[in-house]
Amino acid sequence: MADQTKSDKVTLEELMVSTLAMTDALAKLMIAKGVITDAEFKNQLGTERGELSRRAKAAALTTMCGRFGASCQYSDIKVLQGDFPGFYPRYNIAPSQDVPVIVRNEDRNQLKTMRWGLVPSWAQDPSIGQRMINARAETLLEKPSFKQLVARRRCLVPVDGFYEWRREGNRKVPMWIYLKNRVPFAFAGLWDYWRDPAGDKELYSFTIITTEANVLLWPIHNRMPVIYDKEMGRQWLEESFGDQPMILAAVLRPWHSELMEAHDVSTLVNSPENDTAECIQSIASSQFRKPQLPLL
């Protein structure tokens, strides 16, 4: 029943965003034909469109994974070379924000800033990214937005933990989920490059791949991000993948629950404006060790 409910939510979210796109396309056509002016469109449909956009964005933010932190030192990531003075520790990263991700560039791996929320190269405008912060591992080869990216545009998202909200009656309790050894790890992801049809804007963006939850996460949420350590991360970046469902299923499995931990944190994390170490501290203890070991 939980899986069916989640599936219905994603379908509704897709419908809302598709409706937004059709509304915008129709408005542009009517304005171009002189049927309606831009001001008339905003007066008559602007309020309804704004509400639809708000609901679509809210639906996207409830998807797993919807928040994470990356307080690791990027200079310690062994798959990378060079200095990264522009990147600093983050504790509460939210969708639509710019995030450093690792990509394969010819024969080397590099760090590149991308927006969280995939905007496919064929999209008419970047608003579609609001609903594409995650991609289900089980259907990557079935979705046009993801199928081609599996073979040529895979990425790693450096993190040291992520958030999920546990229900207790009518309230939601935020939780910080991480590896027991406090070592930074990575999410498996896909990225794409989008350019405005007019040619004056460009955007690099990514999505985080999710799979079914392990034993630790299942009481909290039925999905979890695909997690990689050093060896699996190298494989995801550097090896060849194509339309091979069996191979993809083998490398996009849930991470071992016995290697993970979770604790309750402050509701500070509920607002993306709060981006400090206090977000990840256990509410039961003021002590929390910052990860020190390299990711890869």
Residue 186 CA: distances (Å) to CA of 12, 181, 284, 294: 30, 14, 27, 11
Is the pLDDT score of 60 beyond 60? no
The whole-model pTM stands at 0.74
User: Which sign, positive or negative, has the C-alpha torsion 96, 100, 101, 103?
Assistant: positive
Is the pLDDT score of 189 beyond 60? yes
Q: Which residues form the catalytic set?
A: 65, 164
Query: Predicted confidence band at 19 (pLDDT cuts at 50, 70, 90)?
Result: low
| % of the chain with per-residue pLDDT over 70 | 73
- pLDDT tens digits along 197-250: 877 889 999 999 999 999 999 999 999 999 999 889 989 998 887 778 888 889
Is the pLDDT score of 41 beyond 70? no
Q: Which distant-in-sequence residues (6+ apart) come within 8 Å of 242 by Cβ?
A: 150, 151
- pLDDT tens digits along 44-54: 666 655 655 55
Average pLDDT over residues 132-137: 94
